[in-house]
Amino acid sequence: MSRWIPFWPDTAAVNAVAVNNLYLAELGLSALIMATVVAMMLMFCIHYRKGSAVSRADRVQKTWHFEIGWTTATLVAFLVLFVWGASIYIWLYQTPRPDEEVYVVGKQWMWKIQHPGGQREIDALHVPVDKTIRVVMASEDVIHSFFIPAFRIKRDVVPGTLQTIWFKADKTGVFKLECTQFCGLQHATMKGEVDVLSGPDYARWLTAQGVHESLAQQGEVVFRAHGCSGCHDANSTVHAPSLAGVYGTYVHLQNGSVRLADEAYIRDCILNPRSFTVAGYPPVMPDFSGQLGEDDLMKLVAYIKSLGKQESGR
């Protein structure tokens, strides 16, 4: 740790650079507003203090043109900030095509992380530098908030939903990983480290974990253990929608709506199938809510996504 009193956080991702610039601009504007108010106040307070003999005649009587003036000025300045901030927000919360994905489960009081290769870690996240990483997040219990200060990214992990966020680190190093939503007794200790490694270091780290089953393969085990394969396998005689290639496509549902088959949709279908019956299929799938932990759900999602990849690979 640096021996200086810290004043500014690390800036270690493309996301952080964009937010930082905006922050600096607003800091400048805020300083300008504060300086104007303080300067005017000081000037008036000194010049027009009780003991001062200056003339107070000819006070401004009509005030409305001043007020319209500064109303318009602040409104214009605010709209500029609004547009700038909103564009960054939309950019932060819409994931570009990712190079890598990681799956994160928040639970009281740890971050559990699973890599597609099957590597698992707790309160630590190893990622390669200069790659777009998409983070798929779920919570086992209460609301947590996934926050990496050096990347300036944050998103609440609301139980019952899947949330995603992305980042592209541009510096190697170790950075803080935090939870910023109060989540119970040991909320303060729910934190970890993000290790940004160079490409070769990252590859070495992955192999050093000694994992032989990818996350999708682990998902396949869950898929068979819970009997999903009985209906959804290609060889099954039950009339159930095939899962091969379903990820990323649009699915027509019995109730007439159309849903994009993303991770959240797959998760919802497993937990609450009757609400997502696919058009042309009988509503016979049992619901698995309460039977699968978020870890296993992540594995299943990874497996079903991998089916899509195999399909397109053929």
Among positions 106, 128, 149, 219, the unique one binding other proteins when judged by CB under 8 A: 149
Residue 82 vs 230, nearer CB to other proteins: 82
CB of 157 to other proteins, least distance (A): 8
Q: x-or-dash pattern for other proteins, window 67-96, by CB under 8 A?
A: x--xx--xx--xx-xx-xxxxxxx-xxx--
Quick one: which segment of 95-103, 137-145, 211-219, 238-246 binds other proteins (CB under 8 A)? 137-145
Give the binding range for other proteins (CB under 8 A) out of 57-65, 120-128, 242-250, 251-259: 57-65
Separation CA 158–CA 162 (nearest Å): 7
Q: Hey, which residues between 249 and 308 contact other proteins (CB under 8 A)?
A: 290
User: Strand, coil or helix: what is 214?
Assistant: coil
Q: Which stretch binds other proteins (CB under 8 A): 116-124, 146-154, 277-285, 304-312?
A: 146-154
Q: Dihedral (C-alpha) 44, 46, 51, 56: value to the nearest 10 degrees? A: -20
Least distance CB 98 / other proteins (angstroms): 18
Q: Does residue 11 bind other proteins (CB under 8 A)? A: no
Beta strands in 65-162 (DSSP E): 100-107, 110-114, 120-122, 124-128, 132-139, 144-148, 153-157
Can you tell me which of 120, 130, 132, 154 binds other proteins, judged by CB under 8 A? 154
What's the start-to-end Cα distance of the chain, in Å? 51
Which positions from 180 through 239 interact with other proteins, judged by CB under 8 A?
A: 180-189
Of 170, 178, 193, 262, the residue at the interface with other proteins (CB under 8 A) is 178
> Smallest distance, Å, CB 32 to other proteins?
9
Give the DSSP H/E element, type plus range, for residue 90: helix 64-93
Stretch that binds other proteins, among 149-157, 218-226, 278-286, 294-302 (CB under 8 A): 149-157
**Helices 294-313/215-225 angle, 10° precision:** 110
Nearer to other proteins, 103 or 223 (CB): 103
Count of residues that interact with other proteins, criterion CB under 8 A: 85
SS3 category, 166: strand
Residue 145 touches other proteins, criterion: CB under 8 A: yes
> What φ, ψ does residue 198 adopt, rounded to 5°?
-70, 160
Q: Which of residues 241-260 bind other proteins (CB under 8 A)?
A: none
Footprint of other proteins on 92-131 (CB under 8 A): 92-94, 108
Which CA distances in Å does 61 have to 58, 185, 286?
8, 59, 76
Contact status, residue 157 vs residue 113, Cβ threshold 8 Å: no
Q: Which is nearer to other proteins, 111 or 147 (CB)?
A: 147
**Residue 205, preceding peptide bond in cis (omega within 30° of 0):** no
Residue type, 5: I
Which stretch in 110-118, 123-131, 179-187, 306-314 sits in contact with other proteins by CB under 8 A?
179-187
Q: Kindly state the smallest distance separating residue 27's Cβ from other proteins, in Å.
A: 8
b/e burial code for range 85-123 (CB count within 10 A of at least 16 → b): eeebeeebeebeebeebbbbbbbbbbbbbbbbbbbebee
Minimum CB separation from other proteins for residue 179, in Å?
7
